[in-house]
Amino acid sequence: METRNTTLRVAIHQLIVEEKLYRDPMLTRGHVIARLGVGKNRFVSVFQESFGTSFTEYVNQMRMQEALSLLHGTDLTITEVAEKTGFGTSRTFRRQFSSRYGLSPAAFRKHLADKLFE
């Protein structure tokens, strides 16, 4: 059973992270379950045990990691960052970013720029 769970854990990681499925704003847990061909209960159990968080939170963590990288390393607009990372709309991205980090994406980018010139 543990080998099956490990196989499923690896498959989940490959789909969401390596194939960057998190970039799809329409991504749902059901979509991943269907792609993997596993039962919902097994998926939820293995996912929670493996990643220690909900599917939605995990996907948003992946999106935020990429968004931070793009805000730091590119000149993409906030809207372009939102679109590239799977948030769907810049409004959703701004709201979630501000909730998570306590400042807007634009303020974060300005803070990084200010640090460069200190």
* Spatial separation of the C-alpha atoms in residues 112 and 26, rounded to whole Å: 31
pLDDT for 36 equals 95
Q: Give the tens place of pLDDT for each residue, 45-103.
A: 999 999 999 999 999 999 999 999 999 999 999 999 999 999 989 999 999 999 999 99
pLDDT for 104 equals 96
Task: Kindly report the pTM of this predicted structure.
Answer: 0.89
* Spatial separation of the C-alpha atoms in residues 98 and 86, rounded to whole Å: 16
DSSP classification of residue 16: I
Can you state the angle between helices 90-101 and 55-73, rounded to 10 degrees?
90
Give per-residue burial for 5-33: e unless 16+ CB within 10 Å, then b: eeebeebbeebbeeeebbbeeebebeebb
* Spatial separation of the C-alpha atoms in residues 11 and 99, rounded to whole Å: 30
pLDDT band for position 118 (cuts 50, 70, 90): low
pLDDT for 117 equals 66
